Structure 1
Amino acid sequence: MTALKQLDLRNNQLKGEIPATISFLRNLNHLALGTNKFTGTIPLNLGRWQPLRLIGSSQLLVELATPKIYGSVKKCLFGKLPTARNHIFSLEWLNLAKNNFHGEFPSVIQKCENLATLDLEGNRYDSIIPSWLGVKNPWLRIIQLRSNMFYGNIPRKLSQLAYLQLLDLADNNLTGSIPTEFANLKSMRQQNMKQSIIFQYQYFGQIDVNWKGHYYEVFQRTVSLITEMDLSSNFLTGEIPTERSNLHSLKFINLSWNHLSGSIPKDIGDLKFLESLDFSWNQLTGTIPSSIANLMSLSSLNLSSNHLSGEIPKGNQLQTLDDPSIYVNNSGLCGFPLSIACPSDSSSVPSFDEKGYHKDLGELWLHYWVAAGFIFGIWLWLGVLGFCKPWRIAIFDCVDKM
């Protein structure tokens, strides 16, 4: 079939190796082989005649039910990507998730200047994330590298990716601090930024995105609705950059399971479109900023297992997040929805009036006098009814007339 241009064999039970003769298809420019049971390596001469626009996911996921059972993953493809050749330089969508690819970060990717989606999730890559990724691939829109063994610092040059809207580096061995340069990510600063230039072809590619702890199958036409940064389950240290509040279009932030310290940025409430925020299992201190109550779209929040203190802010969307587990393992927190009540003014020292009397004590005595006056009035009224017959008759006669 020498005239074949698109080949989509996804979601079958195909097994064995990907035949090397597939490279003889001179006109092939779209290839999708995901969700099968292929084994072996990727043919070295794949797409040698025609520049491939897309390599579909070669993930070997056994679908047992709907939704997919991601614990049942059969990792079969292995080895390394083919070395740099001109025939793959036009790649726009590369999805090789959930296989056994290993070694260094694929250097061939820096030759793919048109690459918009890169998904290497769930492999065994053991290297640093190269800084050239933010320079050589300027059209990158999705970077999903979670569940590998990448180590070292997060490259600061990723901030140069003007169209980046999904950055998932979770579950690796990354160290160092969160780059402050991430505040310059244009696509995360501007809501509804036009990026249609990236996806001009008609193929409906798809990736699996971890969103609020669940996997969802996302198609290229709907991926623009997702703006996410997931750096969880690493070894990151330092403070959360205050510049993070400039990323106004972010909808999902997950920095959990790291070693971050310092306080939560006071301007966190500026992220108006934020739907999910997870800072749990870190070493954050200080109070929860009151501006967090301004997050009107927030539907998922987790600040547990830190060293936060003070009263939990109230109002707006926070009143609907009434699960105490959101704030547990913070010994200094108090207030709703925890069962720990806050003092009337825990932040102030005892105050006295001009005569030297304790103000709080004076207010307490005032309450006592009001209660005593109420009790005295009740007994006086009952005494009149019980011991003064003319008054009792007059009162009951008045009530009867009414």
Structure 2
Amino acid sequence: MPLCPTDQSFALIQFKNSFSVPNENSFSLHCDKYHGIHSYPKTNSWINGTNCCSWDGITCGKITGQVTGIDLTCSHLQGNLNSNSSLFSLHHLQRLNLSCNDFSGSTISSKFGWFANMTHLNLTKSNFIGQVPYEISYLSKLVSLDLSRNGMMRLDDRIVDLHSNLLQGPLPIPPFGISSFSIAKNNFSGMIPSWICNVSSLKVLDLSHNNLSDLIPLCLGNLSDSLSVLDLRNNKFYGTIPETFVKGNYLRSLNLNGNQMEGKLPRSLVNCRHLEVLDLGNNKISDTFPHWLGNLPKLRVLVLQSNGFQGSIGNPKTNFAFTNLRMMDLAHNEFHGGLPKTYFKYLKAMMNASTEYGELKYIALRQGPKNGYTNGQAEFGPKEDATDVAEAAGMASDMQIT
């Protein structure tokens, strides 16, 4: 058995001594009766001067002896867990389970976000109240987080950002009043329940890079009257895009890239007068060129690549089509014919001033191997500005325009 470092043993003794440990309380009785977990005061085995790696509930690294796990489930602990607790000096912790104890209405300390190696954190049914600190989102290696069955808890600053972890299971629904919810780059699965639309305060909803599937709820289109950013890219959604984008909405970015969407583009997108980024690439959408999107006055990025768009692009239907567009990607579709020269008359945002000749020129125009775009190769716009355009629109900086 490895030998526990002296400073960590001392920190655990301090942690133990900060609580009273009654023989039983309502929490321990609940463990025995409802969960079938034998409750007992594990910290009774924590004796100063002995190897902490041999104590109940303690796991140590096999070589270093560093304390990597604490499991004090149903251990009769009673008292406040404060931010100055010696617990937060155990920086090697990977697993921490304090469930079913009585922390007497303590708030969850922001210092829980200091455990850089934490993969599992369980504080369920432990009488915590108050704000869940934003610092919890700093736990970049977190696989499992359980804060359930505590007192009245609320999320800090109306923002939840748990992106780039290893979280899994069904989609958690954000609480009422929250404005930004990001769980991108995890491993959530299943469908989006329609009652997520009851959270009408949402302005940013980022569920990208997960394994979510099924149809996109129709009500998400209705939510666009408050929603500014909807990012569902790189999931497994299928079916048609909701035809429910309401007039007067404030949607600025819609990203469905990398799903299995099919059918035609919903004409209700013309109601998205604030839309700056529309990325529908890498789906199965089958439609003709959506010239009607040219009427969106703020559209700057349009990505339709790798779908089933077909037919000729045709001449613009108005004299002011796509006037603010900086980037368009139509590659890998089934368009045929030439790209009408009249479009270039209106694509003012795709021009650069030439300092040498003092005139405007179109930049980054690239054709396919044949004359026109008969191979579906149509990409034009300042490719080097992809990140700048996305950031200017207030969107994620890793948007790829290929």
Percent identity over paired residues: 25
Residue type of the partner of 1:133?
L
CA distance, structure 2, for counterparts of residue 297 and residue 163 of structure 1: 22
Q: Tell me, what secondary structure is at the counterpart of 2:293?
A: helix
The Cα RMSD (Å) is 3.3
Whether the aligned pair in 1 keeps the contact of 2:171 and 2:190 (CA below 8 Å) is no
Greater CA radius of gyration, 1 or 2?
1
CA distance, structure 2, for counterparts of residue 178 and residue 8 of structure 1: 47
Residue among 101, 109, 118 paired with 2:188: 101
Q: Does 1:284 align with 2:387?
A: no
Q: Tell me, what secondary structure is at the counterpart of 1:134?
A: helix
Equivalent in the alignment of 1:317: 361
Equivalent in the alignment of 1:173: 260
In the TM superposition, residue 167 of structure 1 has moved relative to its aligned partner by 0.2
Whether the aligned pair in 1 keeps the contact of 2:255 and 2:279 (CA below 8 Å) is yes
Residues 245-297 of structure 1: CA deviation (Å, up to 9, x unaligned): 11120111100000101222532862222111101110112321223323232
Q: Does 1:274 align with 2:356?
A: no
Q: Tell me, what secondary structure is at the counterpart of 1:115?
A: coil
Equivalent in the alignment of 1:258: 307
Matches within 5 A, 1:359-398: none
In the TM superposition, residue 4 of structure 1 has moved relative to its aligned partner by 5.8
Equivalent in the alignment of 1:76: 166
Q: Does 1:297 align with 2:349?
A: yes
Aligned pairs, how many? 261
Residue type of the partner of 1:92?
S
Residue among 119, 142, 152 paired with 1:38: 142
Structure 1: which 5+ runs fail to align? 61-74, 189-226, 301-314, 335-402
Q: Tell me, what secondary structure is at the counterpart of 1:28?
A: strand
CA distance, structure 2, for counterparts of residue 89 and residue 57 of structure 1: 16
CA distance, structure 1, for counterparts of residue 207 and residue 151 of structure 2: 20
| CA distance 1:165–1:79, shift in 2 (3 Å) | same
Whether the aligned pair in 1 keeps the contact of 2:274 and 2:297 (CA below 8 Å) is no
Residue type of the partner of 2:144?
G
CA distance, structure 1, for counterparts of residue 229 and residue 350 of structure 2: 23
Q: Does 1:59 align with 2:163?
A: yes
Whether the aligned pair in 1 keeps the contact of 2:208 and 2:232 (CA below 8 Å) is yes
CA distance, structure 2, for counterparts of residue 243 and residue 56 of structure 1: 36
Q: Does 1:49 align with 2:141?
A: no
In the TM superposition, residue 22 of structure 1 has moved relative to its aligned partner by 9.5
Whether the aligned pair in 1 keeps the contact of 2:180 and 2:204 (CA below 8 Å) is yes
CA distance, structure 2, for counterparts of residue 46 and residue 253 of structure 1: 45
After TM superposition, the score normalised by the length of structure 1 is 0.57
Whether the aligned pair in 2 keeps the contact of 1:131 and 1:158 (CA below 8 Å) is no
In the TM superposition, residue 187 of structure 1 has moved relative to its aligned partner by 1.6
Residue type of the partner of 2:340?
P
After TM superposition, the score normalised by the length of structure 2 is 0.57
Residues 348-374 of structure 1: CA deviation (Å, up to 9, x unaligned): xxxxxxxxxxxxxxxxxxxxxxxxxxx
CA distance, structure 2, for counterparts of residue 248 and residue 22 of structure 1: 52
Q: Tell me, what secondary structure is at the counterpart of 1:244?
A: helix
Q: Does 1:232 align with 2:260?
A: no
Name the structure with the higher strand share. Answer: 2
CA distance, structure 1, for counterparts of residue 237 and residue 280 of structure 2: 12
CA distance, structure 1, for counterparts of residue 279 and residue 177 of structure 2: 28
Residue type of the partner of 2:348?
M
| CA distance 1:242–1:83, shift in 2 (3 Å) | closer
Residues 98-149 of structure 1: CA deviation (Å, up to 9, x unaligned): 0010001144412211011000011001111010112256311100000000
Whether the aligned pair in 1 keeps the contact of 2:168 and 2:187 (CA below 8 Å) is yes
| CA distance 1:251–1:39, shift in 2 (3 Å) | same
CA distance, structure 2, for counterparts of residue 167 and residue 295 of structure 1: 22
Structure 2: which 5+ runs fail to align? 1-81, 83-104, 353-358, 375-402
| CA distance 1:299–1:231, shift in 2 (3 Å) | farther
CA distance, structure 1, for counterparts of residue 171 and residue 239 of structure 2: 22
Equivalent in the alignment of 1:17: 120
Q: Tell me, what secondary structure is at the counterpart of 1:257?
A: coil
Equivalent in the alignment of 1:118: 205
| CA distance 1:272–1:21, shift in 2 (3 Å) | same
